[in-house]
């Protein structure tokens, strides 16, 4: 099976070997999970800034308004640039930049190869030290030297996607551009080792708002680093010094198997590994270190049942067009953690059909009773004092009125907690219904 469009659809959840039609349908249901992912930090921050700017624009006037708006825009711009360039901020996409921090284990990663002159020598050093590393080769080089990628794989190292061309303009691409870069690199790696990578390392570690969609389409997750010694430009001493300064438990070290002479590279890595070992760190593969699978396969996946009772909706073009704004709104709602939970849990109002908690009922009873104790008692005792000509009775009215407040407070105290629980239930149920209705979904559709 080649890396075709249909195939891409499958790899979103990692199903290289599935060919049966009925399984295809199950898989397509699971791809819907993507829609229920939480919003990225970029989206949240953009909405927050937009609302703040709107509020400031409407409530302020004169020069102060423009000062505040300018300041907001500047802050937003700075955050945006940081988001683009600092992978570990998880701004546009979630990136794994460090593994398990409970043990003295680190992982080596090598980008931008393979280099037919230098990579074999590097592999020899890794073999000697019994280290399993991860390689993020450039797609064009993978296509030109599949035999080296094959050797990397056969020696137990991981191969990840690092784009096809690794061009300087990669991060200016929109989703379709990223899509092509990722697909071609996946194809090249698949052709060389017959495996579909699940790791993607963005060229130069830059990200943008369009990256996420392409990642999801190809079933890739971002793997970054927390130690980057800029080894292509620095001297060996400097590289080692930088690594030793920054290394910690779970570190992912970003190096390159290109940019140095073969002898120089082999010597550098040999020395670096020795120094790291002296610090009593051991080397671990990326999978063990991060717990994220390196390849997309069906192994260990439960294909008979979907993981969550996520309803199904029509993803066809016609389905997309229908209901424009409401559909858009429903999708946005569905991307919030609150609604997602409501859908996953299939929140119902059954709790109201069975018995409500006695505490709640008693509390509500007291609150209602407190109203009877208030003004009606004032009126009653006013009437009685006039009717019986006993002025002292008049005082009982305000006394009952005061007492009614205590009863009210006690009632709300008893009912309050459950009241919030029930209100939350009604809200989740309502939002779930609205979202499902807008997206034309039915619960329990046979999968
Ligand atoms: Zn690179």
Angstrom distance (rounded) from CA 59 to CA 403? 44
Q: What is the pLDDT of residue 77?
A: 95
List the CATH number of the domain containing 257: 3.20.20.370
| Mean pLDDT confidence for 265-294 | 95
pLDDT digits (tens, 9 = 90+) for 357-388: 888 889 989 999 888 888 888 888 889 888 98
Boundary of a domain, candidates 271, 290, 309:
290
314 included as an active-site residue: no
Residues 188 and 83 in one domain: no
Would 55 be classed as within a structural domain? yes
Peptide bond into 114 cis (omega under 30): yes
Instruction: For residue 184, tell me if it sits in a domain.
Output: yes
pLDDT digits (tens, 9 = 90+) for 317-338: 455 555 677 777 887 888 787 8
Rounded to the nearest angstrom, the distance between the alpha carbon of 100 and the centre of ligand 1 is 24
Q: Which domain holds residue 122?
A: 95-290
Q: Are 207 and 324 found together in one domain?
A: no
Is 83 found in the same domain as 103? no
Q: Which of 162, 256, 257, 418 is catalytic?
A: 256
Per mean pLDDT, which range of 111-115, 143-147, 234-238, 387-391 is the poorest?
Answer: 387-391
pTM, entire model: 0.63
Instruction: Identify the pLDDT of residue 338.
Output: 84
Q: Do residues 149 and 213 share a domain?
A: yes
- The pLDDT value recorded for residue 298 is 53
Q: Is the pLDDT assigned to residue 300 strictly greater than 70?
A: no
In a domain, 198, yes or no: yes
pLDDT at residue 374, as a whole number: 84
pLDDT digits (tens, 9 = 90+) for 401-425: 889 999 999 999 988 878 888 888 8
**What is the maximum alpha-carbon separation in the chain?**
114
- Helix or strand or coil: residue 443? coil
> Is 46 inside a domain boundary?
yes
Helical (H) or strand (E) element with 396: helix 396-438
Is residue 256 annotated as a catalytic residue, yes or no?
yes
On whether residue 306 sits in a domain, the answer given is no
Q: Is the pLDDT of residue 253 over 70?
A: yes
pLDDT at position 35: 45
Asked if 364 contacts 415 with a C-beta cutoff of 8 angstroms, the reply is yes
Same domain, 68 and 134: no
Are residue 339 and residue 390 in the same domain, yes or no?
yes
Distance 165 CA to ligand 1 centre (A): 10
pLDDT value, residue 349 = 81
Kindly give the distance from the C-alpha atom of residue 204 to the centroid of ligand 1, in angstroms, as a whole number: 5
Active-site entry in 111, 115, 153, 418? 111
Q: How far is the CA of 35 from the centre of ligand 1 (A)?
A: 30
Strand, helix or coil for residue 156: coil
What's the CA-to-centroid distance between 222 and ligand 1, angstroms? Answer: 13
Cα of 162 from ligand 1 centre, angstroms? 7
User: Is a pLDDT exceeding 50 seen at residue 21?
Assistant: no
- Dist. CA 135 → ligand 1 center (Å): 10
According to DSSP, the β-strands at 158-159 and 282-283 are: unpaired
- Three-state DSSP class for residue 159: strand
Same domain, 280 and 367: no
**What local confidence, expressed as pLDDT, does residue 234 receive?**
93
Is residue 132 located within the same domain as residue 258?
yes
Residues 64, 138 within the same domain: no
Total count of domains within the chain: 3
Q: How far, in Å, CA of 301 to CA of 30, rounded?
A: 12
Give CA angle at 160 (154, 165), nearest 5°: 115
């Amino acid at each position: 099976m080649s890396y075709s469009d249909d195939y891409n659809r499958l790899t979103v959840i990692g199903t290289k070997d599935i060919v049966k039609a009925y399984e295809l349908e199950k898989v397509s249901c699971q791809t819907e999970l993507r829609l229920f992912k939480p919003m990225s930090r970029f989206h949240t921050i953009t909405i927050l800034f937009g609302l703040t700017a709107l509020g400031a624009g409407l409530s302020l006037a004169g020069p102060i308004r423009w000062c505040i708006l300018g300041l907001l825009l500047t802050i937003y711009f700075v955050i945006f640039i940081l988001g683009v360039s600092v992978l570990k901020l998880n701004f546009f996409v979630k990136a794994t930049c460090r593994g398990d921090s409970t043990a003295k284990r680190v992982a080596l990663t090598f980008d931008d190869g393979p280099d037919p002159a230098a990579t074999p020598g590097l592999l020899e050093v890794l073999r000697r030290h019994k280290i399993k590393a991860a390689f993020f080769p450039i797609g064009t080089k993978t296509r030109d030297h599949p035999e080296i990628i094959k050797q990397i794989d056969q020696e137990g190292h991981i191969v990840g996607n690092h784009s096809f061309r690794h061009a300087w303009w990669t991060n200016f691409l929109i989703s379709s551009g990223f899509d092509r870069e990722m697909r071609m690199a996946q194809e090249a790696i698949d052709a060389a080792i017959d495996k579909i990578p699940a790791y993607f390392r963005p060229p130069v570690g830059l990200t943008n708002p369009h990256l996420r969609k392409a990642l999801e389409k190809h079933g890739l997750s971002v793997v970054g680093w927390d130690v980057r010694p800029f080894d292509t430009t620095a001297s060996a001493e400097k590289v080692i010094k930088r690594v030793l300064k920054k290394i910690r438990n779970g570190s992912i070290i970003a190096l390159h198997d290109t940019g140095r002479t073969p002898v120089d590279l082999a010597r550098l890595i040999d020395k670096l590994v020795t120094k790291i070992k002296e610090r009593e760190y051991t080397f671990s593969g990326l999978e063990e270190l991060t717990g994220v699978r390196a390849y997309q396969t069906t192994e260990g996946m439960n294909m008979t049942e979907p993981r969550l009772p996520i309803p199904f909706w029509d993803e066809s073009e016609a389905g997309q067009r229908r209901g424009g704004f409401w559909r858009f709104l429903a999708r946005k709602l569905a991307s919030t953690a609150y609604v997602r939970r409501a859908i996953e849990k299939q929140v119902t109002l059954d709790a109201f059909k069975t018995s409500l908690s006695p505490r709640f009922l008693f509390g509500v009873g007291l609150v209602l009773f407190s109203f009877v104790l208030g003004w009606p008692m004032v009126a009653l005792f006013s009437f009685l004092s006039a009717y019986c000509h006993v002025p002292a009775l008049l005082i009982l009215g305000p006394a009952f009125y005061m007492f009614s407040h205590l009863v009210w407070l006690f009632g709300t105290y008893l009912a309050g907690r459950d009241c919030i629980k029930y209100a939350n239930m009604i809200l989740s149920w309502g939002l779930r219904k609205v979202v499902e209705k807008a997206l034309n979904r039915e619960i329990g559709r046979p999968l």
